[in-house]
Structure 1
Amino acid sequence: MSVGVSCRVAVGADDVEACFRVRKEVFVVEQRVPEDVEYDAYDAGAVHVLAVRDDGLPLGAGRLLTGPAAAAKNGGDAEVGALGRLAVSKDARGLGIGAALVRTIEDAARARGLVAVDLHAQTHALGFYERLGYEVYGPEFQDAGIAHRAMRKTLG
């Protein structure tokens, strides 16, 4: 990852708001996902992660769902977390921030005793997740009008 950028589990309302700003920039503005689809009831109980530049500028975000929320996303397995809403600001892409966010989410999942992480990847991002050890399963599906595939990684 780029020097001068760090990833962490969001602490407090300011960090969570910074995560939401990155998500709005990437999903709502850039990809035209409706806001009422982007922000959902799962956000309140999620573990949010944030990538920030040393000067405090938020560059990336993601979330981990656990328990019943994750089970609702992954087919019913409460021991599997659900990674989602991974977003990196356009100007910060290609710097390793996305991979660092995924590792931070995986660490948070391990800390909570989860055995694997599932995600729903936009099809253009399949190679990114495959390089991080995720494997595709199930058919392609649409989410917010964007083609996705389900993926899973067993945590070691």
Structure 2
Amino acid sequence: MITIKTITTNDSHYPAMRELRNRILLRPIGLKDGAWEMQDEESWHFVALENDRVIGCAVLVPLQDKPKRAQLMQMAVDTNLQGKGVGKLIVTEMVSFASKNKFEEISCHSRDSAVDFYVKLGFEVYGEAFEEVGIPHRHMRIVL
């Protein structure tokens, strides 16, 4: 059974979460491990666990310049489990958490290849396409 847990950087699952992010998101595009951890301390971390093993994750970063808004970042699911609903469980829990905590909007920079995934979960595309870390992206958001 897969469970979703919200953790901090002090949690015992955090190192495994970091490893998953590095393996799935950063190393394949040539970025060094930890390249996107600059806001980890002030963020909420969501992990998908199966038999106490981290199989998926995402980070919810509060936007300091936009109260009541946050950004979904570093969404990763173990390669063997992609397309099996793990990401949907994580995002659903994140949206529920944000709603309960009176957030008004969650935004994200979606790789072009993931736009349909987010649209199915209620996100909308806005603004112009852009390139980030050498990959085409779209701005997306969900209003809560």
TM-score (ref. length: structure 1) = 0.84
Report the counterpart of residue 79 of structure 1 in structure 2.
68
CA 1:36–1:10 in structure 2 vs 1: closer, same or farther (change >3 Å)?
Answer: closer
Q: Does 1:46 align with 2:28?
A: no
Report the counterpart of residue 64 of structure 1 in structure 2.
60
Other structure's SS at 2:137 match: strand
Deviation at 1:142, TM superposition (A): 1.4
Report the counterpart of residue 103 of structure 1 in structure 2.
92
Equivalent of 2:79, from 90, 97, 104? 90
Distance of 1:9 and 1:128 partners within structure 2 = 21
> Any stretches of 5+ residues in structure 2 without a counterpart?
none
Distance of 1:9 and 1:150 partners within structure 2 = 25
Deviation at 1:32, TM superposition (A): 3.3
Deviation at 1:36, TM superposition (A): 5.1
Q: CA offsets per residue over residues 79-98 of structure 1, 9 Å max, x none?
A: 21111111001011111000
Contact 2:22 2:34 in 1 (8 A): no
Equivalent of 1:34, from 22, 32, 35? 32
CA 1:124–1:62 in structure 2 vs 1: closer, same or farther (change >3 Å)?
Answer: same
Distance of 2:132 and 2:122 partners within structure 1 = 23
> Any stretches of 5+ residues in structure 1 without a counterpart?
72-76
Deviation at 1:38, TM superposition (A): 2.8
Runs of 4+ in 1 over 4 A off after TM superposition: none
TM-score (ref. length: structure 2) = 0.91
Other structure's SS at 2:84 match: coil
Q: CA offsets per residue over residues 120-143 of structure 1, 9 Å max, x none?
A: 100110000000010000111111
CA 1:148–1:17 in structure 2 vs 1: closer, same or farther (change >3 Å)?
Answer: same
Is the helix fraction higher in 1 or 2? 1
**1:116-127 matched pairs, under 5 angstroms:** 116-127=105-116
Equivalent of 2:23, from 22, 25, 37? 25
Is the strand fraction higher in 1 or 2? 2
Distance of 1:65 and 1:112 partners within structure 2 = 13
Other structure's SS at 1:52 match: strand
Report the counterpart of residue 74 of structure 1 in structure 2.
none
Matched to 1:24, the amino acid is N
Distance of 1:34 and 1:147 partners within structure 2 = 20
RMSD: 1.5
